[in-house]
A and B are shown apart, each in its own frame.
Chain A
Amino acid sequence: MGKLKIKLLPDGTIEMETKGIKGKKCLDYAKVLEQLADAKTEKISKTDEYYQNSYLELDESQHLSDN
């Protein structure tokens, strides 16, 4: 499965990057990190992995609704 790369900066901020987690599911890990660190998400940047998989999911739902 995927990996999380968590960077704890000396100014107290936290950065996280997901690896190998496709689509919207990667956003779930923002919540996981919030729970782990008692922190609040300030900003999310979507990577290629998010868009790539997002397109496929959209395609699938489109297909289902068509039927």
Chain B
Amino acid sequence: MSLILKAFPLGFLINHDLSEEENVSRDLRFERENLCLIKIATNLRLEDVNYLMENLGIPYKYKNDNYFLNNGLCVHWESYQGHYSVFISANEKTLFEKTKRYVDLIKQGELLFKNFDIMLKRNTRDVNSKEIFYYCYKTNFRTRLDVLEALKKHQMENILSNTENEIRFKYNNKNYKFKRNNKKEMFYIELEQKISLVNIGSGKKSLIVKNLKTNYTNMDALLKTLTERGAFSVHSDKYNIYCEMSGMQFLFSRNNTRGQYFLSVDRVSDEELCTNILKELDEEYGLNIQDIVYKKIMERIKDKNMRIESEEVQDDNSIVLTIDLG
């Protein structure tokens, strides 16, 4: 599992001492060491979750849907519209905490999902999830006042605090939240962010890029085909169409408005899946062209002083029109 973070915690938001610095920047060490929770949307259903947890050799089930793994992870499952999201955090009582070593959630999360993929023989993440994904980081902010001062100093927007234990604000149009359960605790910071999952699927890491020449020339038919196939993030201009499907990035491009599109597929995580998608696109595009041509012929034939004598749909879905020339 690799993650592309569209937003990331700034050092000063995690460590109070850094808030004094004028130029704040991304601090990978703080990110790794203070990350305390990751939420990942999956395509798993209840039976999958039960199967995985039973076969993972879980040593201790704390409460319903909460599991402590022997690698220091605490795994919590929550159902959302039939599918489960998993919250991965560090089990505070583990050896890792005693030895003052932090649990590397990114690394352990990767291993956990690699196991899930192998056990279910498929990619278990919900790559099409539009759900807000969030990370929680520990901070060393003790008081509400410290947090507020730091936020004001760095000119954060929309600072809101209705309770002693929660402060919300915006930065670069993204929502952040300082939170703690009670006054005795340090604050942790929660980042709401949309993420893209890449290099996914059965542990195969791939950066394969496929370049193909297509027979596609009709932009409208192609856009319709992609939408029907469930493509998202679809963007188009006169010469290009970009979209994403199953974590892969598809770019159709051409040099003029009537020519054939060239296709470049980036981040091919699963070659078989990619081939199947291309096959489905081919079939769907052909049917869309057939439909467009049929409608055009039926509409224009009257102007040509011609008459449809018969119309037949054959077993292979071909449409045969017999036209009487009068």
Residues on A facing B (Cβ under 8 Å)? 1-14, 21, 32, 35-39
Contacts and interface: CB of A to CB of B under 8 A. Distances in A.
A14 B293 contact: yes
B61 to A, nearest CB: 53
A37 B323 contact: no
A3 B321 CA distance: 10
A12 B321 contact: no
Nearest to A8: B319
B290 interface: yes
Interface string B22-42: 000000000000000000000
Given A3-B309, A8-B293, A12-B286, A36 B301 contact: yes
Contact of A5 (B282, B306, B322): B322
A1 B318 contact: no
A17 to B, nearest CB: 10
Nearest to A20: B325
A7 B326 CA distance: 20
Contacts of A2: 325
A17 B320 CA distance: 11
A10 B287 contact: yes
Contacts of B323: 3-6
B252 interface: no
B324 interface: yes
Given A14-B293, A37-B297, A7 B324 contact: no
B225 to A, nearest CB: 11
A9 B318 contact: yes
B238 interface: no
B296 A38 contact: yes
Interface in B279-300: 282-283, 285-290, 293-294, 296-297, 300
A37 B298 CA distance: 10
A7 B320 contact: yes
A1 B304 CA distance: 14
A37 B296 contact: yes
Nearest to A21: B325
Given A8-B294, A37-B293, A37-B297, A3 B318 contact: no
B304 A32 contact: yes
A4 B307 CA distance: 10
Contacts of A8: 290, 293-294, 297, 318-321
23 contacts: A1-B325, A3-B322, A3-B323, A3-B324, A4-B322, A5-B322, A6-B321, A6-B322, A7-B318, A7-B319, A8-B318, A10-B318, A11-B282, A11-B283, A12-B215, A12-B285, A12-B286, A32-B304, A35-B300, A36-B297, A36-B301, A36-B304, A37-B296
Contacts of A36: 296-297, 300-301, 304
Given A35-B300, A38-B296, A5 B286 contact: no
A10 B296 contact: no
B154 to A, nearest CB: 57
Which residue, of A4, A36, A37, has the highest number of chain B Cβ atoms within 10 A?
A36
Interface in B259-292: 282-283, 285-290
Which residue, of A9, A14, A35, A39, has the highest number of chain B Cβ atoms within 10 A?
A9
